[in-house]
Amino acid sequence: MPWLDALTAKALDRERPTRQEALAVLASSDDELLDVVAAAFQVRRRFFGRRVKLNYLVNVKSGLCPEDCFYCSQRLGSGADVLKYSWLKPDEVLSAAQAGVAAGAKRVCLVASGRGPADRDVTRVSEMIGTFKAEHPDVEVCACLGLLRQDQAERLREAGADAYNHNLNTAEAHYGDICTTHDFADRVDTVQQAAAAGLSPCSGLIAGMGETDADLVDAAFALRDLDPDSVPVNFLIPFEGTPLAGEWTLTPQRCLRILAMVRFVCPDAEVRLAGGRELHLRSLQPLALHIANSIFLGDYLTSEGQAGQQDLEMIADAGFTVEGAAEPTLPEHRRDLIKVRRRGAGTELPANT
């Protein structure tokens, strides 16, 4: 397909594609889809090899948010059945993060609900970061606390934070349809403040919120303009009790096209499979690993992901390597299974398979 070859060549050279090229990825047919995935894989492999970076979320404050983001189970007046609690203590954060670190997470994301932190909240999170970094100096910490001033960003950087996440979520033209309490420009400003303070910018989108293909492409180009180091791609989980509860428009194929479009627009950014991957990609998750080079391990903020062990198996089965691991990570019970098969010991499987 000449259009795909041209787009791939541009991405390998980090060149900006045209809007038409990005739109063509979203409009590709089911017959073209595997070619699109293979082309995106060439780009992924150029910049990230076959490595998969693992990230782990810790929700350090949950629910009770005064903002009205329509997609969010923690929004003002949300009827969604999610945990609500105020700030965790530093040692609680450390113990919550252990499971992710033990499974190989190279980044822990400390996420708090709310419009943005008060100065005393920055102090709290700085203490969390200090406690965590004292135990795990090699694991990156990303803070995600909402709208941020530059002096607050600087304090987080001084406390040892490596990155800051604030998603653009959708196109500027669509933003008023998903939130009325802050706007797109506020979000852009926060990403810029974080980057100016020396924090690695992480900013992505949520697909499936009633946006058009043009909105998705606009959001991806807006992200490219911000030059984030990592781009999480979320697929809407339409929580009951939120205004987007009935919004079921995504298919696994559509998710692959969206991921591929983001990969072509932001070729050398860490593209991360984020919320909703299990729900919407389903059995096509391993194909998505050929486009994205990073995943959240296990659970998300207010929803359960698939077990971390299953994620590690999926990565190994698809022939990828966990970033930072000496060799492809195969969970212990799978090694046991292989030994059983090699010994020709029949079909008896370990109890936990």
Question: Which residues does the annotation mark as catalytic?
Answer: 65, 69, 72, 109, 142, 202, 272
Complex with ligand SF4: residue 115 or 136, whichever CB lies closer: 115
Interface mask toward ligand SF4 for 98-117; x: CB under 6 A: ---------------xxx--
Asked if 65 contacts 115 with a C-beta cutoff of 8 angstroms, the reply is yes
Closest CA relative to residue 150, chosen from 107, 113, 179, 119: 119
Least separation in angstroms between residue 278's CB and ligand SF4 is 20
Does 159 bind ligand SF4 (CB under 6 A)? Our answer is no
Does 202 bind ligand SF4 (CB under 6 A)? Our answer is no
Element (H, E) at 61: strand 51-61
Interface mask toward ligand SF4 for 26-65; x: CB under 6 A: ---------------------------------------x
Complex with ligand SF4: residue 72 or 256, whichever CB lies closer: 72
Least separation in angstroms between residue 317's CB and ligand SF4 is 33
Least separation in angstroms between residue 74's CB and ligand SF4 is 4
Asked if 90 contacts 121 with a C-beta cutoff of 8 angstroms, the reply is no
Least separation in angstroms between residue 8's CB and ligand SF4 is 34
Buried b (16+ CB within 10 A) or exposed e, 6-30: ebbebbbeeebbeeebbbbbbebee
Q: Please enumerate in sequence order all residues whose Cβ is within 8 A of that of 203, keeping only pairs 6 or more positions apart, or say none.
A: 165, 166, 167, 168, 187, 191, 223, 226, 228, 230, 231
Does 67 bind ligand SF4 (CB under 6 A)? Our answer is yes
Binding ligand SF4 by CB under 6 A: which of 8, 28, 59, 74?
74
Nearest-angstrom CA–CA distance, 127 and 75: 26
- Please report, as ranges, the residues that interact with ligand SF4 according to CB under 6 A: 65, 67, 69, 72, 74-75, 113-115, 146
